[in-house]
Amino acid sequence: MNKKYFTTVEIFFIASMIGLDFAYGMVVGPLLSATGILELIRVDMIIPVMMMLTTRLVVDKFGTLIVYEFVWGVLAMIARPASFAAMPGFMKLAPALIYGIMLDSLMELFKDRLYVRILVAGVVGGVVYQFAFTGMRVLYGLPWSEAVQILLGIRLVTTAVVNVLAIHLTFLIWTSVERSGWVRRIQSWRTS
């Protein structure tokens, strides 16, 4: 029987993945921003989405990605104050928490069909995140103009493309590591 709370090993694994994700963002984000490509498509999100979905597959409990996104959001508020389109203070956490709740909820579906599970979670979660992110920006003064609506449409399409790439990468990685010793050890702590 699975424990409902997180074990120390699971917490350590989640924290390690958040640290890797954050370090990746601190290095790759600025490099890609300098090229201007992130204005068109957020290719820098392929690896973070893959890391989140893989973390949820290893620690397959509701709440894993809520914790993941909350901690990542707090780190981003402290170390990257311009993140989340310069939203004020703790309001930066709202889109991250909505994303975490949505991903965790969707990962509860289709548990017997891995690819469908991560596809639904990744694509629908990404779309909801874009609506939440844009909604928060509109609440803080961004006009709901035709240009903003077009930009939202472009972001929805590019987010879906990026997330499908991340989902495929997650599937390839998970099918090669799900029976590995380290994954079995992390998951064995859940039942001991």
Does position 89 have pLDDT exceeding 80, yes or no?
Answer: no
* Distance separating alpha carbons of residues 171 and 179, to the nearest angstrom: 13
Report yes or no: 59 and 3 within 8 Å, Cβ to Cβ: no
User: Residue 99 is which amino acid?
Assistant: Y
Eight-class DSSP state of 40: T
Percent of the chain with pLDDT over 90: 50
- pLDDT tens for 156-191 read 999 999 999 999 999 999 999 988 988 888 888 655
* Distance separating alpha carbons of residues 134 and 114, to the nearest angstrom: 30
- Its pTM surpasses 0.85: yes
Mean pLDDT of the chain: 87
